[in-house]
Amino acid sequence: MTTEPADPPSARGTLSREKVVRTAVAMADASGGKVPSTRKLAEQLGVQAMALYHHFRNKDALLDGMVDLVFAEVELPAEGDDWKTAMRRRAASMREALVRHPWAIALMDSRANAGMATLRHHNAVIGCLRAQGFAVAGAAHAFSLLDAYIYGFVLQELALPFESPGDLQEVAAPILEQAAAEGFPHLAELAVEHALKPGYDYADEFWIGLDLILDGLEQRRGTWT
């Protein structure tokens, strides 16, 4: 009968729940979004796979921890903050976290066993909205709408085939040529008169859309009971 060699004392002594989670997050980031297998994570940590089960009973528990770590990076509303200012800061912070960890978008709201950072985050957002005039239903509507916008924008932003104005010029050239040849004047107009103007940054669209949503919530918050 053969058994796996035991982990060296140095590896067992330095392994912690936080170290396992942070390593898993770093590996997912580095791989372009693929959550590491238990075997590969153990190899990266220099331990046997069984050692991980002292901290996480299964892969789902590890995913819970990874998502919780991402939520911990998001700025929370402070007590007494103006709700629009707080939601704007929180949206910016959430977007930055999701750009750092794009694998997390599909997992953020899928966990049945939320961690403390996740619960703290949700409670703070709801509390801020409730404290400043949103009914329970209104807070739910606002929370859902804001997250749908943030998650969706980041997915679109990460999928774009350009990162800089120079890249955009290269991408737009064949599109403009085709638009002229096939008779799509509105597409050509948008590219020339907007996207290809000096100083254009697609990231600005995030703030424009966010302010439209916040203004709309301001108008409707008194109508939800």
CA distance 163 to 105: 20
Which two tokens mark 34? 């693929």
Residue 166, pLDDT > 80, answer no
Q: Please tell me which residue, 114 or 217, carries the higher pLDDT value.
A: 217
pLDDT band at 202 (very low <50, low <70, confident <90, very high): confident
Question: End-to-end CA distance of the chain, in Å?
Answer: 67
User: DSSP per residue over 148-189, as a string?
Assistant: HHHHHHHHHHHH-S-SSHHHHHHHHHHHHHHHHHHT-HHHHH
The pLDDT, as a whole number, for residue 2 is 40
CA distance 87 to 201: 22
**Sign of CA pseudo-dihedral 116, 118, 119, 123:** positive
Stretch 146-162: mean pLDDT, rounded? Answer: 92
Which two tokens mark 105? 């978008």
pTM of the full predicted structure?
0.84
The pLDDT, as a whole number, for residue 5 is 46
Q: Please tell me which residue, 193 or 45, carries the higher pLDDT value.
A: 45
Question: Which alpha helices (H) appear in 46-115, and where do they start and end?
Answer: 49-52, 59-72, 83-100
Stretch 72-83: mean pLDDT, rounded? Answer: 92
Residue 145, pLDDT > 90, answer yes
- Which amino acid makes up residue 52? L
CA distance 199 to 201: 6
The pLDDT, as a whole number, for residue 90 is 97
Q: Please tell me which residue, 184 or 147, carries the higher pLDDT value.
A: 147
Do 89 and 146 touch, CB atoms closer than 8 A?
Answer: no
pLDDT band at 165 (very low <50, low <70, confident <90, very high): low
Which two tokens mark 161? 């085939």
pLDDT band at 187 (very low <50, low <70, confident <90, very high): confident
Chain segment 115-138, per-residue pLDDT in tens? 999 999 999 999 999 999 999 999
Chain segment 5-55, per-residue pLDDT in tens? 444 444 455 789 999 999 999 999 998 778 888 899 999 999 998 899 889
Cβ within 8 Å of residue 218, ≥6 positions away = 84
The pLDDT, as a whole number, for residue 10 is 45
Q: What Å distances lie between residue 145 and 1, 135, 162, 217, 222, CA to CA?
A: 57, 15, 27, 9, 16
Cβ within 8 Å of residue 182, ≥6 positions away = none
Stretch 193-217: mean pLDDT, rounded? Answer: 90
